[in-house]
Amino acid sequence: MSNKSTAAATAFEQLKQKAAGTWNTLRDKPLIMVGAATCGRAAGAQDITKVIRDELASRQIEATVIEVGCMGHCYAEPLVLIQKPDNPTICYGYVSEGLASMLVREFIAGDDPCIEFALAAMEVNDFIPTFEDFPRGMVEKKVVMQHCGIIDPENIDHYIANGGYEALAKAIDKSGEEVVSEIKTSGLRGRGGAGFPTGVKWETCRQFKEDVKYVICNADEGDPGAFMDRTLLESNPHQVLEGLALAAHAVGASKGYLYIRAEYPLAVERIKKAINQAEESGLLGESILGTDFNLTLEIFQGSGAFVCGEETALIASMEGEPGIPRHRPPFPAEAGLWGKPTVINNVKTLSYIPHIIRKGADWFRETGTPDSPGTAVFALAGKVINTGLVEVPMGVTLSQLVYDVGSGIDGGKQFKAVQIGGPSGGCLPESFLETAIDFDSLNQAGAMMGSGGMVVMDEDDCMVEIARYFLDFTQNESCGKCTFCRLGTKQMLEILERITKGEGALEDIDTLLNLAKNVKTGSLCNLGKTAPNPVLSTLKHFRNEYEAHITEGRCPSLMCLNLIAYYILPDKCERSCDACIGSCPVESIFSNEDRIKVVDQEKCVKCKSCMDACPPQYSAVVKLSPPELVQEKENDNG
Amino acid sequence: MGKKINLTIDGKKIQAMEGDKILWAALENDIYIPHLCAMKEQQQSPFAGCRLCFIEIEGKPRPVAACTEPALEGMVVNTRSESIDRLVEAGFNLIMSNHHIDCKICAASGACELQKIAKERKIRLKPKKLVQLDRNLPKDHSKDCIIYDPNKCVLCGRCVTACRTEGTAVLGLAYRGFERMVTTFGDIPLGETDCSGCGSCANVCPAGALIETDN
């Protein structure tokens, strides 16, 4: 045993030295890092990289340009980090092609760091604040996102130089049992949504004495507006691989899969490269680090069914069957892929593993709450000013996320609700802003942690429409196997559609509630069991909005098209301006004898073009609900 | 031969084979639990899709499906209670909201499992508060001896199992969500498939969607 441990430790020491060499030489000359995860690329990061490379080449400047992952500040994308010897590393946001070439010209070639364009510095210094100095930085605590956006995801040395694979090297000399026990002590709960204790899952799988076992990374992220897993895979793929390797070692598996949805091509590509690099370095494959631990990893590309994130459906789809859940038990930890004991963990869950093994369970428990230790990664979207990914300790409040991290509501509007947990989660109103974010508090509040999608809604968002939207999603994604999910969600959707069209009846609310309760109790899998949550939570907190739709034919948020009309306020219309007329695609706006513009309600398709076109100094176009108000207004005006 | 175990269902002390699911223990002792998709030969990997066989087990907080729950020594089971009845009725209503009801001319009338459930649990066949979700799919008359009416199908999957074990495996479940249906590969009519006309599908169909004719 001691000989073996020396062998693994020695082998890893060599890798570490090589990695440190690569990492340190990066500092010899200017280093430019462009955030080029999918979010960065969508904002034009690849063009920025090209501009920087061309500018450097034309000036014959020696500098290294690398594409890194995402730091989470998606609102400010494209992001560029510049590390120049004798300067702090500076992060620039909203980088345009012009700014990119200016940075090369002024900062790399010259010595002006253009601090007016800096978002923040990465290290404490005398002239630029760091991210930690902002309200967001005070809430944030990075564990799994610590190296996202500051290392090259396609270079294993960058990962190793920052402590990567140390946990594997350390654990490989220990028994699987010790690894399981460490994870159990850490209290880590599955970050895929349900929050099941990871250590318990592993222990169950470990106790089955089978020669063949499997570990699977569930990267079938599908919640609308959620992109945590994608970012982790793209920004730090080795972290996931190391977590998966540790899981395999812990339960005694020698074959693992990463179930990644095919809609994430960049993640697939980076994971593929990472697997190859890890195999070349002896960190995956046969006799890892010279020991008798073998692990081959393979990518399985899912074809887009949301329900395949459910573990039994995921297994079915890997076995070549339709992605349809089956009854549990048996749980996959007992009989999973091809009937063998299988551990399935979410990307985020696996990403925590190396950190826990390296720094210990006690370290992990220092963050978060006693029952939900650690941090949580959220994809903050919707009506907040600063959208993006954020990692915060469990137990912070919703208001900290919305106001400190998200910088509050865009456009000075009124906060209405936050939808947390994706289509399986719920909408929480203002009175829940001080709710702590952890698995149990959110469940109690009628929402759920989910995988980390968080959509903030303001006064312009109709809660009935939001419920309809999410139900439409789950209804579309229902596999159709069981009665309650297939037909129950369909019946609920029919009712919600009626209500948003103003055709609902008061008794529909009771029917809806009953259906929701029954679908929750009666469905076979968790997709069905959680599908009614958006309806139940909006009914609980915003019942008045449902009632306004039904009894008054009015949408209080002026969102439901059937219940609103566009109206031009005669006293605000500037008469000589024709902006609205020009913008209308169906020629529904005309000038009356006083040259005041009027909307022909028969023709209007409610596209909102006129409202957008009307110059802000007039703001003459308004929405009215119920639409009958137009007639009243017109009568008032004679 | 397995061991026999003792349990109580609805106050009646019964014996069952160890490993049998509660649904079969009950049915074999003349205790009726509504069910559509269950097949005894499949009981170790139950389909569990129709969601009608809900029961309560003393000591368990929530209702469970009788087809997935193994009968255990000393277990106390109730097949009826206010909450169970409501849940079963809700499930049945949903199924009926998607079942083309024409009992008067339906060849399965009288031998129909849906009628049986309605009668046993005193539930109306036509649900009151739900809209009828008809898909108006064409009937398949292409095979002489079998008529398939997808609008009556309750997606229990029994015909698919029967066709695979006794027939020529031409039937399968395809599409997702509300679009899900029993169909053939490529959705071709039964008459153009390798269907041998054995009728095993019609024998197990609980809802008159597959009917064997005299031809």
Q: If you measure CA to CA, which chain A residue comes closest to B180?
A: A480
Confidence of residue A410 (pLDDT cuts 50, 70, 90): confident
Question: Domain end: A401, A434, A461, which one?
Answer: A461
At residue B215, does pLDDT exceed 80? no
Same domain, A454 and A469: no
User: What residue ranges in A122-167 does DSSP mark as E strands?
Assistant: none
**Structure-token pair, residue A242:** 């190391």
Instruction: Out of A326, A480, A518, name the one closest to residue B177 (CB).
Output: A480
Contact (CB<8Å) B91/A326: no
Q: How many domains does chain A have?
A: 5
Q: Mean pLDDT throughout A106-122?
A: 93
Contact yes or no for B126/B77 (Cβ under 8 A):
no
Q: A382 vs chain B: nearest CA distance in angstroms?
A: 28
Contact (CB<8Å) B87/A518: yes
CA distances from A38 to A270, A271, A600, B129 (A): 12, 14, 44, 47
A144 lies in some domain: no
The pLDDT value given to residue A2: 46
Distance, CA of A241 to CA of A273 (rounded, Å): 11
Tokens 């009124």 locate to: A414
A-B C-beta contacts closer than 8 Å: 88
The pLDDT value given to residue A638: 62
Same domain, A535 and A568: no
At residue B185, does pLDDT exceed 90? yes
The pLDDT value given to residue A300: 96
Q: B45 vs chain A: nearest CA distance in angstroms?
A: 8
Confidence of residue A424 (pLDDT cuts 50, 70, 90): confident
Same domain, A340 and A244: yes
Instruction: Out of A327, A477, A515, name the one closest to residue B48 (CB).
Output: A327
Q: B39 vs chain A: nearest CA distance in angstroms?
A: 15
Q: B114 vs chain A: nearest CA distance in angstroms?
A: 14
Instruction: Out of A477, A480, A483, name the one closest to residue B94 (CB).
Output: A483
Distance, CA of B156 to CA of B209 (rounded, Å): 11
For residue range A72-89, what is the model confidence (pLDDT) as tens digits?
A: 999 999 999 999 988 999
Q: A471 vs chain B: nearest CA distance in angstroms?
A: 13
Q: Mean pLDDT throughout A100-116?
A: 93
Question: Of how many residues is chain A composed?
Answer: 638
Same domain, A439 and A290: no
Please give the residue that has the higher pLDDT: either A450 or A116. A116
User: What residue ranges in A12-79 does DSSP mark as E strands?
Assistant: 31-35, 64-68
What is chain B's alpha carbon radius of gyration, rounded to the nearest angstrom?
A: 18
A158 lies in some domain: no
Same domain, A317 and A195: yes
Q: What are phi and psi of A426, to 5 degrees?
A: -135, 170
At residue A487, does pLDDT exceed 80? yes
The pLDDT value given to residue B148: 97
Beta bridge partners, B8, equal B13, B76
Distance, CA of A2 to CA of A79 (rounded, Å): 47
Distant-in-sequence, close-in-space partners of B65: CB < 8 Å, separation ≥ 6: A327, B23, B46, B48, B51, B53, B54, B55
Tokens 């909005």 locate to: A545
CA distances from B92 to A488, B96, B127 (A): 11, 6, 9
Choose from B43, B51, B52, B98 for mutation: most chain A CBs within 10 A. Answer: B51
Distance, CA of B157 to CA of B154 (rounded, Å): 8
| Topology given in CATH for the domain delimited by B94-212 | Alpha-Beta Plaits (3.30.70)
Q: If you measure CA to CA, which chain B residue comes closest to A508?
A: B129
Distant-in-sequence, close-in-space partners of A452: CB < 8 Å, separation ≥ 6: A191, A226, A228, A348, A376, A377, A378, A379
- Say whether A546 sits in a helix, a strand or coil: helix
Distance, CA of A528 to CA of A267 (rounded, Å): 29
Q: Mean pLDDT throughout A143-151?
A: 95
Contact (CB<8Å) B155/A518: no
Kindly compute the dihedral angle of the four CA atoms of residues A269, A273, A275, A277, in this order, to the nearest 10 degrees: -170
For residue range B37-52, what is the model confidence (pLDDT) as tens digits?
A: 999 999 989 999 999 9
Contact (CB<8Å) A482/B48: yes
The pLDDT value given to residue A4: 47
Report the candidate in A224, A221, A183 with the shortest Cα–Cα distance to residue A203.
Answer: A183
Question: Domain end: A505, A528, A552, which one?
Answer: A552
Same domain, A178 and A325: yes
Contact (CB<8Å) B51/A483: yes
Domain of A594, in residue numbers = 564-636
Question: Domain end: A435, A461, A487, which one?
Answer: A461
Q: A320 — contact with chain B (CB < 8 Å)?
A: no
- How much of chain A exceeds pLDDT 90, in percent? 87
Taking contacts as CB-CB distances below 8 angstroms, the residues of chain A near B51 are 482-484, 522-524
Lowest mean pLDDT among A10-19, A459-468, B1-10, B57-66: B1-10
Instruction: Out of B52, B87, B177, name the one closest to residue A479 (CB).
Output: B177
Q: A480 — contact with chain B (CB < 8 Å)?
A: yes
Same domain, A454 and A473: no
Q: B81 — contact with chain A (CB < 8 Å)?
A: no
Same domain, A331 and A219: yes
Same domain, A218 and A297: yes
Average confidence score pLDDT of chain A: 93
A4 lies in some domain: no
At residue A5, does pLDDT exceed 60? no
Amino acid A513 reads L
**Structure-token pair, residue A84:** 């120049």
The CATH number for A403's domain is 3.10.20.600
Q: Mean pLDDT throughout A468-483?
A: 94
Q: Mean pLDDT throughout A515-521?
A: 96
Confidence of residue A305 (pLDDT cuts 50, 70, 90): confident
Same domain, A222 and A322: yes
| Topology given in CATH for the domain delimited by B4-80 | Ubiquitin-like (UB roll) (3.10.20)
Q: Mean pLDDT throughout A33-37?
A: 95
At residue A382, does pLDDT exceed 50? yes
Taking contacts as CB-CB distances below 8 angstroms, the residues of chain A near B179 are 480
At residue B119, does pLDDT exceed 70? yes
**Structure-token pair, residue B76:** 């106390």
A154 lies in some domain: no
At residue A340, does pLDDT exceed 70? yes
Q: Mean pLDDT throughout A361-367?
A: 96
A157 lies in some domain: no
The pLDDT value given to residue A619: 93
Confidence of residue A193 (pLDDT cuts 50, 70, 90): confident
Q: B133 — contact with chain A (CB < 8 Å)?
A: yes
Same domain, A447 and A546: no
Domain ranges of chain B: 4-80, 94-212
- How much of chain A exceeds pLDDT 70, in percent? 99
Contact (CB<8Å) B178/A488: no
Choose from B81, B178, B179, B181 for mutation: most chain A CBs within 10 A. Answer: B178
Same domain, A271 and A417: no
